[in-house]
Amino acid sequence: MKRSIDIIKQEFERITLSTEKTLDEFTNIIMASVDAKLRELQNTIEEQKEENKNMQGQITEIRKENSEMQQRILIGGKKTTFLLESVGTYEQE
């Protein structure tokens, strides 16, 4: 009986060590994959930040151009009004 218990204990220890080894290997594989995905995510985030920065610069430039066009339209309207007042309007009878 004692011998059977010792055999069972040894088998249990062998299975435990084997299971721990397999678990460690699995953990290493998973962690390597997680690390790779994390680096990929960090790179993607940095690329997106750079793209957002460039896009913000473009938006700023477009707003500046829009403001300049609005000013030109206002100036054109004022010049038109001035010319109409200076020349008068022509009405055909």
Q: What is the pLDDT of residue 85?
A: 84
Report residue 47 as tokens. 């690329």
Which band of pLDDT confidence, cut at 50, 70 and 90, is reported for residue 93?
low
How do residues 5-54 score in pLDDT, each as one tens digit?
A: 888 989 999 999 999 999 999 999 999 999 999 999 999 999 999 999 99
- What pLDDT score does 13 carry? 93
Question: In angstroms, rounded to a whole number, what is the distance separating the alpha carbons of residues 22 and 18?
Answer: 6
* Torsion angle defined by CA atoms of residues 49, 50, 54 and 56, in that order, rounded to the nearest 10 degrees: 20
DSSP class per residue in 43-88:
HHHHHHHHHHHHHHHHHHHHHHHHHHHHHHHHHHHHHHHHHHHHH-
Q: What is the pLDDT of residue 86?
A: 84
Structure tokens given for 45: 């985030």
- Is residue 59's pLDDT more than 80? yes
